[in-house]
Amino acid sequence: MHEIVRSSPSRFSLLMGADRGSGTQSVPQTDPLPSWNNSPAKQAIIQFVQTTTTQGNPKFVPEADRIATFDQDGTLWVSHPIYTQVVYALDRVPVVVKARPELANVEPFKTVLSGNLEVIAQLSNDDLFKILDATLTDMSVDEFKAEVTRWLLHARDPRWKRPYTELTYLPMIELLKYLRANGYKTYIVTGGGQDFVRVYAQEVYGIPPEQVVGTVTGISYSYHKNGRPFLTRDPKLLLNDNNAGKPEGIHVMIGRRPYAAFGNSTGDRQMLEYTKAGDGERLAMLVLHDDAKREYAYGPALGLPDTKVGTFTQALYDEAMKQGWIIIRMKNDWKRIFAFEK
Amino acid sequence: MHEIVRSSPSRFSLLMGADRGSGTQSVPQTDPLPSWNNSPAKQAIIQFVQTTTTQGNPKFVPEADRIATFDQDGTLWVSHPIYTQVVYALDRVPVVVKARPELANVEPFKTVLSGNLEVIAQLSNDDLFKILDATLTDMSVDEFKAEVTRWLLHARDPRWKRPYTELTYLPMIELLKYLRANGYKTYIVTGGGQDFVRVYAQEVYGIPPEQVVGTVTGISYSYHKNGRPFLTRDPKLLLNDNNAGKPEGIHVMIGRRPYAAFGNSTGDRQMLEYTKAGDGERLAMLVLHDDAKREYAYGPALGLPDTKVGTFTQALYDEAMKQGWIIIRMKNDWKRIFAFEK
- pLDDT (tens digit, 9 = 90+) per residue, A123-158? 888 898 899 999 999 999 999 999 999 999 999 999
- Banded model confidence at residue A116, pLDDT cuts 50, 70, 90: confident
Enumerate residues 6+ apart whose C-beta is below 8 A from B241.
Answer: B189, B190, B191, B194, B213, B214, B215, B216, B249
Q: Are A120 and A90 in contact (CB under 8 A)?
A: yes
Considering only CB atoms, B277 lies closest to which of A3, A228, A277, namely: A228
Interface of B with A in 238-267 (CB under 8 A): 238-239, 244, 247-248, 251-256
Q: Are B200 and B165 in contact (CB under 8 A)?
A: yes
CA–CA distance, A81 with A254 (Å, rounded to integer): 31
Answer whether A4 touches B (CB < 8 Å). Answer: no
Report CA-CA distances (Å) from A321 to A285, B179, B227. 11, 48, 16
Q: What angle do CA B68, B195, B311 make, to 5 degrees?
A: 60
| ipTM score | 0.90
Q: Are A117 and A158 in contact (CB under 8 A)?
A: no
Name which of A296, A240, A267, A220 is nearest A70 in CA terms. A267
The helix or strand, by DSSP H or E, that contains position B144, with its residue range, turns out to be helix B141-154
Q: What pLDDT, on the 0 to 100 scale, is given for residue A171?
A: 98
Considering only CB atoms, A212 lies closest to which of B216, B248, B255, namely: B255
Q: What pLDDT, on the 0 to 100 scale, is given for residue A17?
A: 35
Nearest chain A residue (CA) to B219: A248
Residues of B in contact with A219 (CB under 8 A): 248, 251-252
* pTM, to two decimals: 0.90
Q: What pLDDT, on the 0 to 100 scale, is given for residue B299?
A: 85
Higher pLDDT, A81 or A270: A270
Answer whether B270 touches A (CB < 8 Å). Answer: yes
CA–CA distance, B242 with B314 (Å, rounded to integer): 19
Per-residue pLDDT reduced to its tens digit, B160-170: 999 999 999 99
| Cα radius of gyration (chain B) | 20
State whether A248 and B231 contact (CB < 8 Å): yes
CA–CA distance, A284 with A247 (Å, rounded to integer): 14
State whether B248 and A220 contact (CB < 8 Å): yes
Q: What pLDDT, on the 0 to 100 scale, is given for residue A212?
A: 98
State whether B209 and A255 contact (CB < 8 Å): yes
Name which of A191, A193, A105 is nearest A141 in CA terms. A193
- Banded model confidence at residue B73, pLDDT cuts 50, 70, 90: very high
Answer whether A198 touches B (CB < 8 Å). Answer: yes
CA–CA distance, A209 with A145 (Å, rounded to integer): 12
In the predicted model, is pLDDT for residue B20 greater than 70? Answer: no
Considering only CB atoms, A255 lies closest to which of B198, B220, B239, namely: B198
Per-residue pLDDT reduced to its tens digit, B42-69: 999 999 999 999 999 999 999 999 999 9
CA–CA distance, B34 with B219 (Å, rounded to integer): 42
| Cα radius of gyration (chain A) | 20
What mean pLDDT is predicted for residues A209-229? 97
CA–CA distance, B77 with B312 (Å, rounded to integer): 16
What mean pLDDT is predicted for residues B234-243? 95
Interface of B with A in 206-225 (CB under 8 A): 208-210, 212, 216, 219-221
Interface of B with A in 65-84 (CB under 8 A): 65
Q: Are B187 and B213 in contact (CB under 8 A)?
A: yes
Q: Are A238 and A217 in contact (CB under 8 A)?
A: yes
Chain A closest-CA separation from residue B246 CA (Å): 9
Answer whether A237 touches B (CB < 8 Å). Answer: no
Residues of B in contact with A254 (CB under 8 A): 209-210
Could you give the dihedral angle defined by the CA atoms of residues B218, B221, B226 and B227, in that order, rounded to the nearest 10 degrees? 180
Report CA-CA distances (Å) from A266 to A90, A115, A203, A300. 25, 30, 28, 11
Backbone angles phi, psi at B251, to 5 degrees: -65, -45
Query: For testing the chain B interface, which of A231, A257, A319, A323 should be mutated: the one with the most B CBs within 10 Å?
Result: A231
